[in-house]
Structure 1
Amino acid sequence: MLAQLPPGIRSRQINNGNGLNVHILEAGYEQPGRECVLLLHGFPELAFSWRKVMLPLARAGYHVVAPDQRGYGMTEGGDARYDGDISQYGFLNLVRDALGLVFALGYDAVAAVVGHDIGSPVAGTCALTRPDVFRSVALMSAPYPGPASYRFDGQNGAYAAAQLHADLAALTPPRLHYQRYFCQPDANAHMLACEQGLHDFLRAYFHMKSADWAGNQPAPLASASAEDLASMPTYYIMEQSRTIAETVAAEMPSQAQVEACNWLSDAELAVYAAIFADTGLQGGLQCYRSLGSAAAQAEMLLFAGRQITVPSCFISGASDWGTYQSPGALELMQRRVCTDMRSVDLVAGAGHWVEQEQPAVVAEKLLGFLASQAGSFGKKA
């Protein structure tokens, strides 16, 4: 991995006090007393995913830190067994991971926590539960819907999810939500041991969810019904008879397209393939399993009705279906969940991997967001 890191970014391990020896990448570490920006990646990604955003933020005067999250990459200590403890992947424990890392780095607060994909709800929960530490939040590619709400009509989240999955299965052909698929015991093996090989699976997966794939023409959905959700690409609402590897194999880019992909070279992709071949993907999948668990949803009820009051922003790719996969979530985030939403940017020329596809624009948007906040906070004690 180090061979693919730009000069100025270093790799090291740090104990976060919450059971992890966290692998981090950092830039702007040479000068003490800088404000810190914490970057949280999604699935199937790593701290490495932020490599092209880190240096512009560091040049602007920030200490930029990107960890491999629990269960991912070179971070040690997470239970990545399918039959292991998924409760440690609940959002509140992932907040503890981030909080412990911030303190271990010598800070009492950070200028911003930035989360992409499933890192977005982690970052959102950081700002929701500890606004004193996470002084602002940038949510990327996945609108943050806020904590679970109390229901007294019996129609809780588990009931609604079960009904949706039944409705999807009743379609012709039968369909399956990708998050449901990720919770299956053989999902990890399907990806690691797929016919095309892990490297080509990742290439097709990254390609199909990017702006390079012509099939990505996202738009708001009319409802969360099975019929409306099934209008999304098959990497979100899969055909029940196909694995995720088989799904994306049908859209494998040509060699010419691979060579033209300036945001993810084969050498950079090889970093992901080598690390996931060594560690597997189950650690990342555990978060999806926890997300749908009744215990995790009940835990978040402690914050029912609570809003994010620190400055916030949302950044996504204009070609990213993730913005709309949960109908109404984008509007809910702006209208109720975040009380100080500074900006919503849909970046042209980017799909789901916006921080990799358009890193210069993302860095510019993040720096503008940080500049909109008066004062200085979160320096090392």
Structure 2
Amino acid sequence: MTNPYADAPLHPGIRARRIEGVNGLSMHILEAGHEAPDRPLALLLHGFPELSYSWRKVLPALAQAGFHAVAPDQRGYGGTTGWDGRYEGDLSASRMLNLATDALTLVRRLGRERAELLVGHDFGSPVAAWAALTRPDVFERVALMSAPFAGPPPLPPGPAEPPVPDIDAALAALPRPRRHYQHHYATPGAEHEMLHAPQGLHAFLRAYYHVKSADWPQNDPQPLKAWEASELARMPTYYVMDRGRGMAETAAEHMPDAAQIAANRWLTEAEMAVYAAAFARTGFQGALNWYRCSLSPEQSREHRLFAGRRIEVPATFIAGAKDWGVYQKPGADIRAMDDRAFARLAGVHLIEGAGHWVQQEQPEATVARLLAFAAGAGLSPS
């Protein structure tokens, strides 16, 4: 596979190419501002169910500001190959520290010693956070988007492992039985029910993007009191699902009508088709394996090596004002974005007119925030 986005709507200043030997991957990237080799590097990491293509409106704007902006298809996604997409496969490659190693290796394979600006959205946010925490010598500034970071897990308070609350069982016991979407994504059937959605893959993704955006009027994010079933059940069903229903069925209830789709300028049907074609080709399991690792006690124990460590480089947080994701983890939401996890946090910014897909819904405001953060942290490439 050369360029899976050859027919995709893209700014003429964006080019696609493949970088070999990236931590065992053949990594497909989109980039802009590549003409001048001495520009500062901005590395942009996407989330789920996204692609490097999710940065299509940000790449040329950063290039115009003087950056060499690079967005890879991460492990399990898009045109990148060399990953294990089986449910029964080895999950170790999808653990967070290995995903951060992917980012580190890509910087080096690009011929760079450092990335002056690292940006991560959704599941790309914790990858960026862990990359910045573990390698501040390489990742000099970090912007996290839509998924807050509360720092590494603490060491157990005593000689024994504390019991982990079974939130899945607690949600199942509610009068209206529920299931957290991450637990659903960890099940063997999650890929099939989305990939083979009765409404079709394109329509499933359209509804999923719609319901998590500012276009869905019911999105009214509110802080939750605690990581308890009754509180989590306050979230929309795309986060805390009705038990026994898949995500495709859940999203189908919120499918925008033909007029709403035609009026959408931040995600046109031609752009939506890029996502549908990509996931039809790769499936979802390589991406869903990230969720399985996020629920794994082994990953949490691995992260405890860094207990008490903070992100020391300049950092900021950006999200849409209509994004429930900023509150989805009580105790580790935007209220925990403070000096316990960050040495130099330059603000938490919620962008009006955007939901979860902030860099696609409001790209100009997102770029303005990124450039203001970079300038405030001593980086003005132009």
* TM-score of the superposed pair, with normalisation by structure 2: 0.96
Residues 278-319 of structure 1: CA deviation (Å, up to 9, x unaligned): 110111101000111122111111111100010000000000
Check the 8 A contact 1:15/1:101 in 2, yes or no: no
CA distance, structure 2, for counterparts of residue 85 and residue 376 of structure 1: 42
**What's the Cα RMSD here?**
1.3
**Alignment partner of 1:2: what SS?**
coil
Correspondence 1:252 to 2:237? no
**Alignment partner of 1:115: what SS?**
strand
1:76 to 81, 85, 99: 81
Q: For residues 187 and 26 of structure 1, do their structure 2 counterparts lie closer, same or farther at Cα, with a shift above 3 Å needed?
A: same
Give the structure 1 partner of residue 230 of structure 2.
227
Runs of 4+ deviating beyond 3 Å: 152-156
**Alignment partner of 1:334: what SS?**
coil
Correspondence 1:346 to 2:350? yes
Residues 52-105 of structure 1: CA deviation (Å, up to 9, x unaligned): 011111001000000000011110111111111111011110111001100000
**Alignment partner of 1:337: what SS?**
coil
**Alignment partner of 2:337: what SS?**
helix
Aligned pairs for 1:116-265 within 5 A: 116-153=121-158, 154=160, 156=162, 159-161=163-165, 163-265=166-268
Gaps of 5+ in 1: none
* TM-score of the superposed pair, with normalisation by structure 1: 0.96
1:326 to 325, 329, 332: 329
Correspondence 1:52 to 2:42? no
CA distance, structure 2, for counterparts of residue 288 and residue 117 of structure 1: 12
CA distance, structure 2, for counterparts of residue 160 and residue 240 of structure 1: 21
CA distance, structure 1, for counterparts of residue 250 and residue 356 of structure 2: 17
Residues 256-292 of structure 1: CA deviation (Å, up to 9, x unaligned): 0001111000000000000100110111101000111
State the one-letter code of the partner of 2:105. G
CA distance, structure 1, for counterparts of residue 190 and residue 106 of structure 2: 30
Correspondence 1:89 to 2:94? yes
Give the structure 1 partner of residue 28 of structure 2.
23
CA distance, structure 2, for counterparts of residue 203 and residue 376 of structure 1: 37
Give the structure 2 partner of residue 277 of structure 1.
280
CA distance, structure 2, for counterparts of residue 155 and residue 142 of structure 1: 27
Q: What count of residue pairs does the alignment treat as equivalent?
A: 374
2:70 to 42, 65, 71: 65
- Greater share of helix: 1
CA distance, structure 1, for counterparts of residue 245 and residue 55 of structure 2: 31
Give the structure 2 partner of residue 308 of structure 1.
311
Residues 334-369 of structure 1: CA deviation (Å, up to 9, x unaligned): 231011111211000000000000001001100111
1:164 Cα deviation after fit: 1.2
Residues 176-213 of structure 1: CA deviation (Å, up to 9, x unaligned): 00000000001000001110000000000000000000
Gaps of 5+ in 2: none
CA distance, structure 1, for counterparts of residue 70 and residue 206 of structure 2: 26
State the one-letter code of the partner of 2:169. A
Q: For residues 104 and 241 of structure 1, do their structure 2 counterparts lie closer, same or farther at Cα, with a shift above 3 Å needed?
A: same
State the one-letter code of the partner of 1:288. Y
1:224 Cα deviation after fit: 1.5
Identity of aligned residues (%): 54
